[in-house]
Every structure is written in C-alpha cells, then in structure tokens.
Chains A and B, each alone.
Chain A
C-alpha cells in the first residue's frame, strides 16, 4: 500500500516569503506528526495531531509556524515570513494512535532552503 507522501520534495524560497508543506499520511492512521531536522541533527518535534483532539503545538518554534489537518487526513505545515534558520528537512510521520506499539511511518521529507 501507499506510504506517507510529502510534497514538494524540495523547496527553495526567498527570505520573507510564506511556504506550505503538504503531508499525506497512510490511510487509516489517525496520528500525524511533523518534525524538523537540521543538517546533521536529530529530530525536532513540531506538532502532533491525534484524531479529532486538539493538536499538540508545543514544539512549534514561533508563531510564524502553523499547521492544520483537514478531514483527519492531509496536513499542511505553513511557515510565514521564512527566515534562513528555517532551512531544514521537514519530516512528516503517521501512526496508528490506538496502540502504544504502533510505530511511526515517515515520509521522504521536504528539504526547505531559504535564501
């Protein structure tokens, strides 16, 4: 079956522009996560959606970052007024939230470069 997909795979934008990153989770997965990974670094949690519950936004680094998940499926991460420090790979993952043993399935990531 289809895995997690993300688009675009690469995005180059000018400082100050807004960008939207898209994630299509695995069908039936009710949990969806966004992470940021800077070059050579670990995963930085950004936001987590679980079913119809309010999202956990505790990892968003500033109010320039926002995310939504429509219809419990597709999610969009929006970064407004991008800064050079926003350059990173943005990873999306989905999981069956009903089981603690449910591993995350990751998408291929979106590499964002802010010039």
Chain B
C-alpha cells in the first residue's frame, strides 16, 4: 500500500485565491511527522511546513497551513493568497519514528497559478 497518496496530478488557481492540495497517508505508527516540500522548475526541494502526529493544532507558516485530520489520515496543504511564484510541484512526505526515520514521498501535485 502507498504510504503517501496525492491524488491531484495538476491543479490551477487564480492569483490571490486560496488553494488546497490533498494528501492522505497510511501508517500504524503512533509517532510520525508530515511534511510538505515545494519544487520549483529550478529543481531544488524547499521545505514548507511540518505537522507532528501529536500536535493538537494545525501547523501554519506564513501563507501555508496544514489541515491535519488525524482520524481521516489526511494532511492537506492550504496556500492562501496565491502568488505567481507559487507555481511549482508540491510533495507531501511522512516520516515514521518506528521505521528508523525513513521518509516516504507522494507523487506530487503540479500547481499553476494563473494571473
């Protein structure tokens, strides 16, 4: 079974609008971390936001927030007030403490911001 599932291969959003990128995960480990990375066309992987499995509140970092629904095993990324520079690939990832801190990545979502 896939550890991380991103079901949206491509998304479009109007500039200044909010967009939600979906991510579901599969784990039986009670201790895990969820991450989102951005990969612009230049290729570098940029860390955006982190959510721990024991965190009570949703993580936020500037215009990024993580909609963490533990019971549904969902960790969607919300980008508010989209900017043209947000156009990139976005990857969801999970790290399980029980498997020696291995990272698992989803297949990514390509986001295009339309002016």
Contact = CB atoms under 8 A, between A and B. Distances in A.
A100 B32 contact: yes
B7 interface: no
A104 B101 contact: no
Interface string B87-105: 0000101011100111111
B110 to A, nearest CB: 9
Which applies to chain B's interface (DSSP): helix, strand, loop or mixed?
A: strand
Interface of A: 31, 33, 35, 41-43, 45, 48, 50, 53, 56, 89, 91, 93, 95, 97, 100-106, 108-109
Interface in B77-95: 91, 93, 95
Given A95-B103, A102-B101, A109-B43, 6 more contacts: A31-B101, A100-B33, A102-B95, A104-B45, A104-B93, A104-B103
Contacts of B107: 41-42
A35 B96 CA distance: 18
A102 B96 CA distance: 11
